[in-house]
Structure 1
Amino acid sequence: MRIVVLTGAGISAESGLRTFRAEDGLWEDHRIEDVATPEAFIRDPALVHRFYNARRAATAQAEPNAAHRALADLAARHELTLVTQNVDDLHERGGSSNVIHMHGELASSLCASCGHRWPSPMETDRKTLCPACGTAAARPDIVWFGEMPYHMEQIWEAIQQAEIFAAIGTSGQVYPAAGFGHQARRSGAHCVELNLDRSAVSRDFHEHLIGPATQIVPEWVGRLG
């Protein structure tokens, strides 16, 4: 069975990582505009580097949970395309391979000068050199607001061919990911939303499973066989 799964911050929240869109509008006590835009990096690169250094440290302390592991089990039995909005590596550490990180990865650095990518050290700063061109232009390999998500052609192709589309732990507020359910439904997929509450795009889904990801994701995977 061809299945596409989209995961958001909700699946990693139970591993202790705070969700991107907290109720107070802050992400780890910072305004999104100050740490997650190209303009923020130009304005205060030192702050942005410190922020993502702290995110790497927090991720290193977190452990994959039952929902991450259940999706790895699902991939062993079905043709699964796993797309995540998350920048952590909990899917990989939970046993999944070939994860599509549409918003980039904390584990990767990007040269703002030549575009080279390399495995990120735990801490970077304004003096971190690109190993390809030698320029001190390292930035987190993260898709910030105003930038184009990665791998979109591959994602749309998988969605159009999916028999089942599932969104797990997503708010339905960030596009283009918020439009995946609509496209999958138009393409004939059975669409399932797994979340603590109905999302902003819940109308796009045939089925709604409400509860903690560590409970409802393993149950859903078990039903698929």
Structure 2
Amino acid sequence: MPKINASTVAEHRARQREALVGAAIDILVNEGAAAVTPAAVGARAGLARSSVYQYFDSTADLLVVIMQEAYRRSNEALAAAMAAADGPVERVEAFFTESLRLGAEGAHRPAAALMTADLHPACKEWLTALHLEQVAPFRAAVRDAGVPAPELTADLIAGMLHTALTAVDHGTPLDTVTERTLELVRRCLSPAGGTVHADDAGPA
């Protein structure tokens, strides 16, 4: 009978599953999707390969769970940040601020690694759908801001976020990147595309 390191069997299984998911994410980010195998994940988590199959049927199953977990955690944080913001520009700012904070923690790396992995086309399509679901509130806020060509504007601003995340990854201080990015976002969303006065800009 395996030792149970929790007050209940259900809690024990939940902890083991979480440990396996964490190990799989670590391998994915640092070694690539091809390195995510039940044997490797079990070894990283300190469990036998046979134990892995009690929770996941295959490598593909592991990757699907990684996709779900990566987006679920980020989406919850983004939704909470945007819910606390007043007005469409402020919601965009909240989305960017929280995205950069999550990026500094490495939350975007599993999805980024999967985007470049040699996945089955159906998995690629699902990954794209998860990404579109995540950015939908941001794009809605851009539309609500009443800017010209809102879809194009959202695409262009999203490009800024990607660049900002790359800057954070490369070591530029989070506060510096966030402050400069929000300044540019406000300019893009101002009525005339010009300078937004402090009274109108919302929180930095």
Same fold? TM cut 0.5: no
Higher strand share: 1
Higher helix share: 2
Higher relative contact order (CA 8 A, sep 6+): 1
The TM-score, its normalising length taken from structure 1, stands at: 0.29
- Larger Rg over CA atoms: 2
